[in-house]
Amino acid sequence: PLHIQLGEWAEIIVLAPLTANTLAKLVYGFADNLLTNTILASSCPILLAPAMNTDMWEQTAVQRNWQQVLTEKRYYGIHPGSGILACDRVGQGRMAEPKEIVTNIKSLLYTAGKRDLAGKKILISAGGTREHLDPVRFIGNPSTGKMGIALAQAALHRGANVTFVHSISGELLLSGVKIIEVVSAAQMQQAMLANFAEADIIVMSAAVADVKPAEYSSEKLPKRSLPNSLPLTPVPDIVAELGKLKQSHQYLIGFAAQTGDIVAPALEKLRVKNLDAIVANPIDREGAGFGSNTNQGIFLDAGGRQLDIPSCSKLEMAHHLWDFAISVISYQLSVQ
């Protein structure tokens, strides 16, 4: 029968949009059409993206069914957002954006539905900080935060509770993530320290500035008033500070954006800043580093393990990093 063939063939099933009617059928195991028959005849992960009128979504029965279906291991949900609905109203119930659905699909195809970060609290920093001279001028770098976003997405898809500290402009598409927006290194330091103690795994993927203007003007400086020589002062070394505060149950990962020899500087940073692992990132290679949709690098850990990751999407690289971290943490627990 067709539903058996489809169920055995599918690696993942996506219901987008998921209606209130089909949601109820999933909860109670109905098999009254080809879709519900196929779902019952399959064993693959099922991704759900509800979409409906706000009043329908907020009904007690619908919310109960939504929570109930997500207790089953093979169901993965993307909560609807707010916006213009099919009925021309504005409110909760708008289907997740296609880009977010595709990202979830890619993650599920990579993990085959594993939730191996379930129960873990993960703290991630992302983006390039800005150190302002005045309201319109700043010292910064080209980081777009794409790698950090991918790390947050991959961790969320694997079941983690994610806190995301960022200095990124634009839409993040990180529903289900605690998001803290910052601008400067000092603000990022404050946010990271405030959330550090409760985190199990911390990833400093942000490109934090090394220096800032020694003086800040609250009003835009006229061009004629700009100094020929700009006095600079250091900013907080956030990852080094976290390395000093790190407890035995915490796992701290850093990034080293390098040109030329990437391994030696990364190992030195790993040692000096008391990291558990580091990603040596070759930003001078095509398809890697700032602004790119792909990345590559070498994962290094304090135990001497090394893993070379060839060019791949940043989401895939994020999953490789979580695989690496999980394997190292598991090994550490086994020898304690």
Q: Would you name the residues annotated as active-site residues?
A: 87
Q: Give the C-alpha separation, 335 to 164, whole Å.
A: 31
DSSP 8-state class, residue 254: E
Q: How far apart are CA 306 and CA 130, in angstroms?
A: 32
Say if CB 274 and CB 244 are below 8 A apart.
Answer: yes
Output phi, psi for 111, to 5 deg. Answer: -90, -15
Name beta bridge partners: 162.
Answer: 122
Largest CA distance in the chain: 79
> Residue 176 has what DSSP assignment?
T
- For residues 133 and 119, the answer to whether their CB atoms sit within 8 Å is no
- Give the residue among 78, 207, 98 at the shortest CA–CA distance from 148: 207
Contact 332, 312 (CB under 8 A): no
What own/partner pairs with CB < 8 Å and gap ≥ 24 does 136-140 have? Answer: 136/220, 137/220, 137/221, 139/209, 139/211, 139/212, 139/213, 139/232, 140/209
Whether residue 17 has a cis bond before it, omega within 30° of 0: yes
By the 10 Å C-beta count (0-12 exposed, 13-18 middle, 19+ buried), 118 is classed as exposed
Cβ atoms of 318 and 147 closer than 8 Å: yes
